[in-house]
Amino acid sequence: MALHVVNEARRCLHCKKPQCREGCPIHTPIPDMIQAFLDLKINEAGEMLFANNPLSLVCSLVCNHEAQCEGHCVLGKKGQPVHISSIENYISSNYFDKLRPQKAVPNGMRAAIIGSGPAGITIAVILAQRGYGVTIFEGKEKIGGVLRYGIPEFRLPKTILDRYKDVLTAMGVQIRPNTNIGSAIGVDDLFRDGYKAVFIGTGVWKPNTLGIKGESLGNVHYAIDYLCNPAVYSLGQRVNVIGVGNAAMDAARTALREGAAQVTAFARSEHVSASPLELEYAKFDGVQFEYFKAPVELTEEGCIFQDTVRKEDGTLELVPGTQKLYPADSTIISVSQGPRDVIVNSTHGIDVNDRGLVVTDSLGQTTREGIFASGDVVKGAKTVVEAVRYSKLVADAMDRYMQGLPR
C-alpha cells in the first residue's frame, strides 16, 4: 500500500493551475499535500487535509473521485490520472492515528448540534476548535448519520466513525445518543438552557414512495431502512431493487453479501444516476440490470413492471400490453428520500419548501433567528464532500452570530 501511494505521489506534475483542486468541491490543496508528503512531512500534509476538510478520511473513501479530483487530473487526458484518493486516504489515516486534539480555551458560549452526520460532525469540530461548548444530539445510538447507517461497511468501515467519536470527545464535544429533538426535548428547550445557536443537520431519512399497489407488503423494504441494519432482514434468494442511484447500488451489493443469490436492479430508462465506478463495482459483484422498466404493482411473488419507451420529445411513456412479473422473494425500493418533519412541526418559525427541505439563506440561517441548517436536510440527498463544504460556511456564520458580529 505504502509503495503504491508513494509511486502515485511521484506521478503528480504539480501543475501551476491544478485542475484536480478545481475539480474538488471543497478545493483540497492536493499538490501542496502531495509535495509535503514527498518531502517526508506527512504530519503537515495531514494537518493540511484536516484543516481544509475535517472529513478528509471519509471523503478519501466515498467521494466520486472519477468525476472530481481524479477526473480533472491532466494525466487522465491521455492515460491514468494520479490516484489522489489513495494518497489522501493514506495521509489522513496516518494523521488520525496520531491525532491527540486538545480542548480549546472555552469562550463561555454553548452551541447545539442536532444530528451527527457529515454536516453535524463538521460544524462540531469547527466550533469546538473555536472554544464553544458543543453538544451533539443524535437520534440513534452511535454517531455518523448517513455515514454509519446509509453507507455499507465494505465502502466505509464503521471503525472510522468510532475514531471520529474519540476525536470529538477529546475536543470537549458532548454527545447525547438516542435523543430525538422534537419529542421530549424541543428546540425551544435548547434556547431556554442557554444554547446561543442551534444547528439542524438531521439528513433525509424519510424514503420516497412509489405510490403503487403492494407497497405495504411484508417482503417490500426501502433502501434507506435496509442499509441501517441489513443483518436483521431476511430477503431470500432473489431480490429486486427498484432504482439505480448510489443508494440502490449499495443496497444491491449488500444484499448479495448478505446471502442473496440473484439481485436485479431496475431502471425506468437507460439513465443510471449512480456514479460510473459504483455501477461498475455493482456489475462486478454480480448485480444484474434491467432498463426501460416501470414498476406498476408489487406482489408477494415479485414486482410487475411495464416497458417504457423514450419519445421524440425525450419523455418516457408506458408501452401498452407489456406488463410482466419479475419474480423475487423481496423487493427493495430506492427512489431517493426526503426529510422527516418532527423538528419543523414542533418548532415555530422554521420554513420549509415544497419538498419539506429546510429553507435557509446562503450561509445556512433559517427563517428563525439563531437556528442554522445545512447538509441533506437543506440541499436534499447530496455527497459528503458537498455537505462539508457548505457546513464550513455555516460554521463561520454561526460563529459570527454568537459573537454578535455582522454577517
Question: What is the model's pLDDT at position 2?
Answer: 56
Question: What is the model's pLDDT at position 147?
Answer: 96
- Cα distance between residue 125 and residue 132, in whole Å: 10
Question: What is the model's pLDDT at position 206?
Answer: 87
Question: What is the model's pLDDT at position 382?
Answer: 82
Q: Closest by alpha carbon to 137, among 102, 186, 170?
A: 186
Q: Is 204 helix (H, G, I), strand (E, B) or coil?
A: coil
Residues in the chain: 407
Q: All domains of the chain, ordered by start, with CATH?
A: 2-98 (1.10.1060.10), 110-205+339-403 (3.50.50.60), 207-336 (3.50.50.60)
3-state helix, strand, coil in the chain (%, to 5): 40, 20, 40
Which residue ranges of the chain lie beneath pLDDT 50? 1
**Which residues have a Cβ under 8 Å from the Cβ of 73 and sit 6 or more positions away?**
19, 20, 81, 82, 84
Q: pLDDT per residue over 261-297, tens digit each? A: 999 999 999 999 999 999 999 999 999 999 999 999 9
Question: What is the model's pLDDT at position 315?
Answer: 93
**Which residues have a Cβ under 8 Å from the Cβ of 17 and sit 6 or more positions away?**
none
Q: What is the pTM of this model?
A: 0.93
Q: pLDDT per residue over 130-170, tens digit each? A: 999 999 999 999 999 999 999 999 999 999 999 999 999 99
What separation, in Å, do the N-terminal and C-terminal C-alpha atoms of the chain show? 46
**Which residues have a Cβ under 8 Å from the Cβ of 46 and sit 6 or more positions away?**
91, 92, 94, 95, 96, 98
Question: What is the model's pLDDT at position 239?
Answer: 98
